[in-house]
């Protein structure tokens, strides 16, 4: 009984081995008959050495050289509005006249009293010369004249406050003040901004302070004017660093003759740092960023002896993965510090289909952007 069972187990084992071997031969046949992957179509670009201006990028806010909300110091009824919204005015131009009839009348009364005091003093001086009155009377007349003249000057200042004038030259904003309206002290009449030249305030990390100096040039751009750069210079560095952010505030001045830049605008600021340098550059799409390092695929002829040839007898192109060290970015471009040489051909799109030694066909009908100053485009 035991011998028969052993024979049966042996037969079963031989059957299983036979089936497994047959399945193995079938898989090998399928693998051998499967089509081999062909060349992958990619786009490419040549590694170029370009002149590169190192820049420090930041974001800032446009600020007026001078800006204020014009208000009234004293209460009064608006008699006349002498400007239109959006006008440019000069320093000292009359903007709003408040009703000052009673104040002018009071001024005339005080002026008459001062004139009378001057007449009395002149007459008493003559009498003093004739020894008709004492020196004390002349002194009292002199003090009385000074007091009345001081009251006149005080009233003149009050009358002048009823005439609200532009404190400096600039451009007016939009006003809602109308004749007949009553204004309280501190009520806003209109905004006044001096915007040519104009400031931009921005912040940079404290580690960059050593590379910044007064007079250093910069470029500013705003999404309000795509593709337009505004040149300026650093005019002030805050002597105190913000202890919360460890950033320092920088102020730059820009010419703004067309009044394109307006206070409150958001701006991109690029400060030129040092001399221009030569860097190998590539489109940013050519770089594959991985946890273990950045790589690119270099295209080169297959140097194997059994390499296929194209119709013209040239060796087939293959892709080889290379580690690179990247530097600063500029628009669509990135600087490559190590790993490549000028003139090498690098894959810019289609890397996901590649591995070392994959045959490639270069088709640059559609290539990625490679501009140092890209501009948004809408289609």
Q: How confident is the model at residue 1 (pLDDT cuts 50, 70, 90)?
A: low
Q: Give the span between the Cα atoms of 374 and 54, in whole angstroms.
A: 17
Cβ atoms of 96 and 72 closer than 8 Å: yes
Among candidate residues 332, 265, 344, 261, the one with its CA nearest the CA of residue 299: 344
Q: Give the chain's domains with CATH numbers.
A: 40-52+277-362 (2.40.420.20), 55-98+163-273 (2.40.30.170), 100-161 (1.10.287.470)
Q: Is the peptide bond before 197 cis (omega within 30 degrees of 0)?
A: yes
What is the predicted pLDDT for the residue at 131? 84
Structure tokens at 225: 């004017």
Structure tokens at 248: 């320092």
DSSP class of residue 35 equals P
The share of the chain scoring above pLDDT 70, in percent, equals: 92
Q: For 9, phi and psi rounded to 5 degrees?
A: -65, -40
What is the 3-state composition of the chain as percent helix, strand, coil, each rounded to the nearest 5? 25, 40, 35
DSSP string, 258-293: T--S-TT-EEEEEEE-SS-EEEEEEEGGG-EEETTE
What is the predicted pLDDT for the residue at 40? 83
Q: What is the overall mean pLDDT for the chain?
A: 86
Q: Give the span between the Cα atoms of 29 and 109, in whole angstroms.
A: 122
- pLDDT tens per residue across span 272-307: 887 788 888 889 888 998 888 899 999 988 776 555
């Amino acid at each position: 009984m035991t011998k028969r069972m052993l024979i049966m187990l042996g037969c079963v084992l031989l059957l299983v081995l036979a089936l497994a071997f047959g399945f193995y031969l079938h898989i090998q046949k399928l693998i051998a008959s499967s089509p081999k992957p062909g060349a992958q179509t990619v786009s490419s670009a040549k590694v170029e050495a370009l002149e590169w201006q190192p820049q420090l990028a930041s974001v800032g806010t446009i600020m007026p050289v001078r800006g204020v909300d014009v208000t009234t110091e004293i209460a009064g009824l608006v008699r006349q509005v002498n400007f239109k919204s959006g006008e440019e005015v000069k320093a000292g131009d009359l903007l709003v006249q408040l009703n000052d009839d009673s104040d002018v009348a009071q001024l005339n009364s005080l002026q008459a009293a001062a004139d009378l005091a001057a007449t009395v003093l002149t007459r008493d001086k003559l009498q003093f010369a004739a020894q008709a009155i004492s020196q004390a009377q002349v002194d009292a007349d002199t003090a009385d004249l000074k007091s009345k003249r001081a009251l006149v000057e005080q009233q003149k200042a009050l009358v002048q406050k009823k005439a609200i004038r532009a404190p400096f030259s600039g451009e007016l904003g939009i006003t809602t003040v109308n004749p007949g309206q009553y204004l309280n002290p501190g009520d806003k009449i209109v905004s006044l901004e001096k915007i040519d030249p104009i400031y931009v305030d921005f912040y940079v990390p404290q580690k960059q302070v050593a590379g910044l100096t007064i007079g250093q040039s910069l470029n500013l751009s705003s999404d309000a004017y795509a593709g337009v750069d505004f040149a300026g210079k650093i005019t002030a560095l805050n002597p105190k660093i913000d202890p919360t952010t460890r950033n320092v505030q920088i102020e730059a001045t820009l010419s703004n003759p067309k009044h394109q830049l307006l206070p409150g605008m958001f701006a991109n600021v690029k400060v030129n740092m040092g001399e221009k340098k030569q860097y190998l550059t590539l489109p940013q799409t050519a770089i594959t960023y991985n946890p273990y390092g950045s790589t690119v695929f270099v295209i080169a002829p297959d140097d194997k002896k059994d390499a296929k040839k194209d119709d013209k007898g040239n060796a087939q192109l293959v892709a080889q993965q290379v580690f690179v060290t990247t530097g600063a970015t500029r628009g669509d471009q990135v600087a490559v510090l190590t790993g490549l040489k000028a003139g090498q051909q690098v894959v810019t799109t289609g890397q996901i289909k590649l591995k070392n030694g994959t045959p490639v066909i270069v088709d640059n009908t559609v290539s990625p952007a490679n501009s140092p100053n890209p501009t948004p485009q809408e289609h």
